[in-house]
Amino acid sequence: MRWVVNSILRSSVRSLQFRLGTKPLNTIASGFHNAERVNIPVGSSGSVKLDLYNLPKVSSSEPLLVYLPPFSTEAPTSDLTELPRFAQKHATAVIHYRWTDPWPEEKAVEDEASDGEETVYRRFRSGWPAPIHDTLRAYTWITENLIPTTPRSARRDIYVYGSYLGASLATSLALTEAYPHERMAVRGCVAYNGIYNWTMFLPDHPINKPPKSISRNFLEEILTLPGDPDFHELKQMARELFNKPDDLFDPFASSCLFFQTPGLLVPPSFDESAIQPPSFLVDMPWLPEEAVEQLMPLKHPRKSPLVFPARKSTLKIPEMLLLHDTAPLLPPSLLRRRQRRKKHSPVNSFRTQAEQLASLMRRSINKVELKERMKWDQDMHDCDYEADRRVQVHDVGNKSNDVIATTWLDDRNGISIDFKVASDGGVNGGKVGSSAAALSSLGGPSFWSATPRLDVRCPGAARCHSPRYNTHLRPSRKIKNEFTNCSQFLFPRHQPPRSPSTSAKMADSVTLRTRKFQRNPLLARKQMVADIIHPDQAGISKANLQQKLATLYKATPEQVSVFGLRTAFGGGKTTAFACIYDSVEARKKFDAKHRLVRNGLATKPERASRQQRKQRKNRMKTLRGTEKTKGKKAKKDS
């Protein structure tokens, strides 16, 4: 009977791979002639193939995209693997992990033998955990061989992209290899239609059990069936993907289990329950379900949150974009019936998987990372949207996932469109409606642009891309010019409201970003935190900073108050507070007197010297009563 089940599962695997991976040859990336294949040994389990695209075209410090295909590409047709559109012209590494090669069930692997010994062949089956071993071995080779060599302090960012089976591996790789202090590590991840909790396919999971308070019939069963055929086939493939049910509880397969316990017992098989009723209960089918559950010898444990990353670890949850498709709509008659139901039971789908992982990562960011940082960083108390910015969930809908992924990656790597500033202050090149329109019209660079990237990962300087917050954000402005020359600026109009931070970039040497922008009408001012990135300069003067902020917010330098400049350890970044008052009179009324004196807006009160004040104080100590007002002693009568 086992071979019948395996044959059925292999047919479903072939159909899914054919639908996801077979593309006409005219859609394959035209730059494949720049590919280089590397065979990396994986212990005694053979080797994993790694394809490198377009590496000679870019410098060693340009970001690298690690692509995990939607299915195992160990098959002979792996040379026709299609790259995403946004990766076809950039440095990309494709990891051909081995997972459920459905043609031969087992593959002969040659073990290394020393001189005089006979070569030994053993059987290797590309089931779990073979794919995660292949992925980690290939990633280790990438970080060791593709790291920038000159200069020695150069950094290189890695972005991981995966879909379907590759999305599960991509999230595990990103969550365990995102070290901000490393010169070359994972900085972000994009996952499309991934399974992040394989235990939700087990029959004991609450999502697979009908609600007790709702009567169900045949029509209700139809309504709860998954509408996405790809998701349904991945569920059917679980037996072929994993060797035993224990593998479903591996956090590297189910990324959600990094952050919480599964709340389930390991079942004996994929289709059986972990808790079997005793024999005497089987003979009493008339008992209600509540009584049967109370008489059960075992119960499933409760879900408990886990601390990930560990508090003493340097690991950090990277920026994550989880994309998912929406299941096809039901017929109108069934849809109306489902809408009339007062309580909707949850349905396991790509959307459910993405939202569950996103909620767990956001909780970890708020409860672990930001809570610990608030103890020593006073700027972190107002970062309410940091978790929503770093972990985003988007429904692809009618759009292409390549377009959404391209926009997300561009924002993370600081696209800058090079305009020429005319001598009269005008801009050669016309007006720009948005960054996407500018890139399409000018043929501008993507997120691997030639502009050197400043690696700044300050949570406060974050940009929120959540749609529900965009209505309260101001359009971003970008300025490109020399920092010392403030007479010519570039103000692109109608910037998309994707960034709440205002940034100014000057000659690729100094970057000014404002965050935590607030309007305070009671004090007649706008207050913010300014981040100055100056990798090639020792520091920035307050006068230049005031003039730059005044030009950025259309005010005069006398209206700008800058204070609290603090340079980070190692240099290269300075943080300051800035207040821009509505008028000079308002600043004289509300700003601190010592700042007004420093800027020449107030006169310093004249005081006697320190020695004179000390003598006057000691002299007043000898006087009593009304004599203190006179400042001298009364002469005694002789």
Lowest mean pLDDT among 244-248, 292-296, 422-426, 503-507: 422-426
Q: How far apart are CA 80 and CA 629, in angstroms?
A: 98
Residue 214 or 207, more confident: 207
Does the predicted model carry a pTM greater than 0.75?
no
In the chain, what are the domain boundaries?
A: 1-112+124-325+355-415, 476-620
Provide the residue type at 457 as one letter.
R
**Does the pLDDT of residue 442 top 50, yes or no?**
no
User: What confidence tens digit (pLDDT) does each residue in 102-122 have?
Assistant: 444 445 555 554 455 555 444
Q: What is the pLDDT of residue 124?
A: 55
b/e string for 612-628 if b means 16 or more Cβ within 10 A? eeeeeeeeeeeeeeeee
Grade residue 428 by pLDDT with cuts at 50, 70 and 90. Answer: very low
What would the two tokens of residue 577 be?
A: 């507070």
CA atoms within 13 A on the CB side of 545: 26
Among 171, 308, 316, 191, smallest CA distance to 252 is for 171
Q: How far apart are CA 616 and CA 406, in angstroms?
A: 73
Hey, do 1-112+124-325+355-415 and 476-620 end up sharing a CATH topology, with the first three levels equal?
no
What would the two tokens of residue 576 be?
A: 């300051």
Residue 559 or 373, more confident: 559
Lowest mean pLDDT among 139-153, 324-338, 441-455: 441-455
Lowest mean pLDDT among 195-199, 338-342, 382-386: 338-342
**Does the pLDDT of residue 71 top 80, yes or no?**
yes
Q: How far apart are CA 327 and CA 335, in angstroms?
A: 13
Q: What is the pLDDT of residue 436?
A: 38
Contact 72, 107 (CB under 8 A): no
Provide the residue type at 125 as one letter.
R
**Mean model confidence pLDDT for the chain:** 73
Q: How far apart are CA 290 and CA 211, in angstroms?
A: 13
Q: How far apart are CA 555 and CA 559, in angstroms?
A: 7
Q: What is the DSSP letter of 531?
A: E
Q: In angstroms, what CA-CA distances link 374 with 321, 370, 386, 463?
A: 25, 6, 13, 19
Describe the crossing of helices 165-176 and 130-145 by its angle, rounded to 10 degrees: 50
CATH fold of the domain at 1-112+124-325+355-415: Rossmann fold (3.40.50)
Q: How far apart are CA 493 and CA 431, in angstroms?
A: 7
Residue 282 or 468, more confident: 282
Q: How far apart are CA 176 and CA 157, in angstroms?
A: 15
Q: Which position has the token pair 């997972």?
A: 99
Grade residue 636 by pLDDT with cuts at 50, 70 and 90. Answer: low
Q: What is the pLDDT of residue 211?
A: 60
CATH fold of the domain at 476-620: Alpha-Beta Plaits (3.30.70)
Q: In angstroms, what CA-CA distances link 505 with 227, 389, 511, 512?
A: 48, 22, 4, 6
What would the two tokens of residue 251 be?
A: 């956090």
Q: Which residues pair with 51 in a beta bridge?
A: 37, 94
Provide the residue type at 35 as one letter.
A
Across 278-289, average pLDDT: 58
User: Would you give the distance in Å from CA 548 to the centre of its chain?
Assistant: 31
Long-range contact set of residues 631-636: C-beta below 8 Å, sequence gap at least 24:
none
